[in-house]
């Protein structure tokens, strides 16, 4: 059982990008651009990143580097009024094509 826990902790630790977001192991379309901090600004993986962190914390495997990177990323993507924003697809009014809109994520506000 200890071997399984150690493997999971290692896997989650390796799932974090250098800039702090988790999700390196997600299955992505091979034609997608690599995930970068700039891409995380558009549509951040806040939910999955927090749950990866919670899993590491609950098993005693959070390192200072992991915590610092996650907190730095969350601080850097938060807007000045304290909200995190996410991109969503919207139908553009003129040509009926799809565009991006930035919406406040009301579940994720720093108070």
> Mind listing the pLDDT tens digit for each residue in 2-50?
999 999 999 999 999 999 999 999 888 888 778 899 888 888 888 899 9
Instruction: Check residue 39 and give its pLDDT.
Output: 86
Q: Is residue 74 a part of any domain in this protein?
A: yes
Q: Is residue 86 a part of any domain in this protein?
A: no
Residue 76 has pLDDT above 70, yes or no: yes
Mean pLDDT for 78-101 is: 72
**Tally of domains in the chain:** 1
What are the φ and ψ backbone dihedral angles of 88, each rounded to 5 degrees? -140, 155
> What are the tens digits of pLDDT across the range 53-64?
999 999 999 999
Instruction: Check residue 42 and give its pLDDT.
Output: 80
What is residue 72's three-state secondary structure?
helix
With a threshold of 0.85, does the pTM exceed it? no
Q: Is residue 89 a part of any domain in this protein?
A: no
63 CA to centre of own chain: 18
Give the helix/strand (H/E) hosting 48.
helix 46-58
Instruction: Check residue 83 and give its pLDDT.
Output: 80
Residue 57 belongs to what domain range? 2-80
Q: Is residue 99 a part of any domain in this protein?
A: no
Banded pLDDT at 106 (limits 50, 70, 90)? low
């Amino acid at each position: 059982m200890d071997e399984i826990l150690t493997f999971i902790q290692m896997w989650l630790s390796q799932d974090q990008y250098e800039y702090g977001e988790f999700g390196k192991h997600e299955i992505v379309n091979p034609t997608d651009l690599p995930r970068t901090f700039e891409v995380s600004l558009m549509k951040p993986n806040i939910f999955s990143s927090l749950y990866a962190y919670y899993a590491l914390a609950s098993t005693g495997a959070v390192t200072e580097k992991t915590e610092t990177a996650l907190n730095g990323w969350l601080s850097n993507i938060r807007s000045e009024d304290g909200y995190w924003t996410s991109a969503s697809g919207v139908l553009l009014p003129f040509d009926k094509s799809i565009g991006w809109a930035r919406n406040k994520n009301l579940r994720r506000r720093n108070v």
